[in-house]
Structure 1
Amino acid sequence: MWKQDRRSEIDRSNLPDPLSHRLRFEVEQTLHSLYAEADLADQIDSLYLPFANWLSSKLGNNEGPLILGLSGPQGCGKTTFANVVSRILIKGFELNAVVISLDDLYSSRQDRLKFAEQYSPLFKVRGVPGTHDVNLAISLFERAKQLKDGEVMKFPRFDKSLDDRKAVHLWQEVQGPIDVILFEGWCVGSPVMKQDLSAPINGLEQEKDADGVWRSKVNDLLADDYHTLFNMIDLMVWMQAPNYDVIYEWRNKQERLLEAHLYDIHGGVLDTLDLKVMSAEELKGFMQYYERLTRHLLSVMPERVDVLMRLDESQSVLEVKYPTEH
């Protein structure tokens, strides 16, 4: 009889946590909606739920939402991680959590073209500081901090395939009050580049920014407008890649997922529509716009953030370093 009871205790200890078991379906549905790998749901106990629990413990009595910055190289999984954690906070912790992507804060195509005419043609390509509507972002965060029960606001949505902001009626509607904002993006929280910018580091800079005007303007914006925006962040998370070279493979995988997503929507007529999906070679050129700042971030961010996630070449999280509690 004692052995039977003891065996039952051991069996119960191997059961999944009741909360993670209840949230498994929510996580799977979130991953499916993002065209992410389904087996990521297996990390609910080891990664997503512990992080959500840690984050929920940081909510105090401050007015307005806690703003979490989540940053990492292109294709590392920021968007997936942010959306899964948000869903867990909503369904498991009964918190009003909202995900805001830096990619949804791009300036309109028309405004980017105007900015490019003023400073450098390279600003026509979205991505680096100078291509986002920082004033809009700051006003959105300020409004979110004041959002009361029963009030609503809208956050912009950007369509990468169209290279322009979506119509306002397609923006994300959010009800107040907001508990947590997960602000994710490849250069969210970036400090200014202090190294010498004069020498080009790739073919793009050599051929199209020989005088350094573009990269210098990017750095000036990091020290000014973007610094103001990033100062609104309460806690910062960085997802560290093992090296720079692997980032191309991650980003190429992301682009192929976008292509598959568009084919799911538009089917055989995709080629007749003005939808932009980069080939592997086009992507190599495109990533040169990001290279200098990405290398800078890989170097400095691990020592500047509250939570550090180390990834391997397959994008799996090897380690999560939380801040030491006192």
Structure 2
Amino acid sequence: MSPVPHSFSPRRFSQTLVAQALDDALASSASTPVLAISGVQGSGKSTLAAQVVELARSRGLCAAALSIDDTYLTRAQRQRLADRIHPLLATRGPPGTHDMPLALSTLDAAKAGQSFALPRFDKLADERVPELQWSQIERPLDLLVFEGWFLGTPAESDAALQVPLNALEREADAEGTWRRWCNQALADDYPALWQRFDRLWFLQPPSFAVVPQWRWQQEQALQQASPARTSMSRPQVERFVQFYERISRQALRTLPDIADRTIALDAQRRPLEET
């Protein structure tokens, strides 16, 4: 396999921007604020989250980061959904494929200053990491950074779901059962999670067109980190991104008006204000 492109080396955000994110979160009235960082696949969410946690700890604060990806349902749970509702639900990603009680209880424990464990999900194995291997938070947090690809995104209207928007929807969801079920889950189950956020920052790409390349670079990085394990091929990544396309486009339309701060990125994931 070809080496990971140098362009994917996670570009650290400026310390000014990181400090602004941290200070914005700490300015909330919450004793343990939750700073949510939303952005499409490969946009730099985990990099920014790690930098905010790093800066917080350098100030003597107790901080941790969590991804909504770490609260995916197990493979067996998703397969049961696939058998009962639609085959596409076996694939992680869209609304409805997360363990919402786990996500909510984790954020609630953090905000209450309780001890808790940080869930983890192994993307190459496509399976949740055993609970015994989760990191334990033993003391009250001063900050939790929660990142995810569609955090804060509202559901679409029924009318918007009528026409398939990519090959996956045309070929595997011609009747619209899967996309309607995911949209209903987004409408019913996720607002309670969004309400736990004290601040929401959105990393905005120039368009959805950059996402397949960003996600392919991300997959190469995962493979480079674990060379003995199997990763997705480029065609598999191209299809995988289609599972995320509808909600990602909805995020691009809506989040700039919802987020507390929107950071516009160029095609190399650089904040425009820093270029």
TM-score w.r.t. length of structure 2: 0.92
1:224-243 pair list within 5 angstroms: 224-243=188-207
Q: Give the Cα–Cα distance (whole angstroms) in 1 for the partners of residues 21 and 93 of structure 2.
A: 28
Q: What is residue 288 of structure 1 aligned with on the other side?
A: 242
1:196-235 pair list within 5 angstroms: 196-235=160-199
Change (3 A) 1:144 1:50: closer
Q: What is residue 262 of structure 1 aligned with on the other side?
A: 226
Q: Give the Cα–Cα distance (whole angstroms) in 2 for the partners of residues 319 and 124 of structure 1.
A: 40
The answer as to 2:251 corresponding to 1:297 is yes
- Which residue identity does 1:247 align to in structure 2? V
Q: Which structure has greater helix proportion?
A: 1
Q: Give the Cα–Cα distance (whole angstroms) in 1 for the partners of residues 249 and 68 of structure 2.
A: 19
TM-score w.r.t. length of structure 1: 0.78
Q: What is residue 173 of structure 1 aligned with on the other side?
A: 136
The answer as to 2:40 corresponding to 1:53 is no
Q: Give the Cα–Cα distance (whole angstroms) in 2 for the partners of residues 285 and 45 of structure 1.
A: 36
Where 2:168 maps in the other structure, the secondary structure is helix
**8 Å contact kept, 2:63–2:144:** yes
The answer as to 2:68 corresponding to 1:102 is yes
Change (3 A) 1:46 1:68: closer
Q: Give the Cα–Cα distance (whole angstroms) in 1 for the partners of residues 88 and 155 of structure 2.
A: 19
Q: String of CA shifts for 1:185-223, please: whole Å, max 9, x gaps.
A: 001111111252011111111111111110001110111
**8 Å contact kept, 2:266–2:272:** yes
Q: What is residue 139 of structure 1 aligned with on the other side?
A: 105
**8 Å contact kept, 2:211–2:241:** no
Q: Give the Cα–Cα distance (whole angstroms) in 2 for the partners of residues 144 and 116 of structure 1.
A: 32
Where 1:224 maps in the other structure, the secondary structure is helix
Q: What is residue 118 of structure 1 aligned with on the other side?
A: 84
* Higher Cα radius of gyration: 1
Q: What is residue 29 of structure 1 aligned with on the other side?
A: none
1:237-252 pair list within 5 angstroms: 237-252=201-216
**8 Å contact kept, 2:151–2:194:** yes
**8 Å contact kept, 1:160–1:276:** no
Q: How far off is 1:59 after superposition?
A: 4.1
Where 1:68 maps in the other structure, the secondary structure is strand
**8 Å contact kept, 2:24–2:199:** no
Q: Give the Cα–Cα distance (whole angstroms) in 1 for the partners of residues 22 and 106 of structure 2.
A: 24
Q: Which runs of 5+ in 1 are unaligned?
A: 1-35, 264-269, 321-326
Q: Give the Cα–Cα distance (whole angstroms) in 2 for the partners of residues 276 and 207 of structure 1.
A: 26
Moved over 6 A (4+): none
Q: What is residue 21 of structure 1 aligned with on the other side?
A: none
Q: String of CA shifts for 1:268-311, please: whole Å, max 9, x gaps.
A: xx2xxxx4411111111111111111111111111111011000
- Which residue identity does 1:154 align to in structure 2? A
Q: Give the Cα–Cα distance (whole angstroms) in 2 for the partners of residues 161 and 96 of structure 1.
A: 30
Where 1:75 maps in the other structure, the secondary structure is coil
**8 Å contact kept, 2:36–2:201:** yes
Q: Give the Cα–Cα distance (whole angstroms) in 1 for the partners of residues 15 and 113 of structure 2.
A: 33
Q: String of CA shifts for 1:1-52, please: whole Å, max 9, x gaps.
A: xxxxxxxxxxxxxxxxxxxxxxxxxxxxxxxxxxx737x45x4433223332
Q: Which runs of 5+ in 2 are unaligned?
A: 1-7
Where 1:200 maps in the other structure, the secondary structure is coil
1:67-106 pair list within 5 angstroms: 67-91=34-58, 93-106=59-72
Higher relative contact order (CA 8 A, sep 6+): 2
Number of aligned positions between the proteins: 266
Q: Give the Cα–Cα distance (whole angstroms) in 2 for the partners of residues 131 and 209 of structure 1.
A: 17
Q: Give the Cα–Cα distance (whole angstroms) in 2 for the partners of residues 206 and 44 of structure 1.
A: 42
Where 2:132 maps in the other structure, the secondary structure is helix
Q: Which range moved further: 46-55 or 309-318? A: 46-55
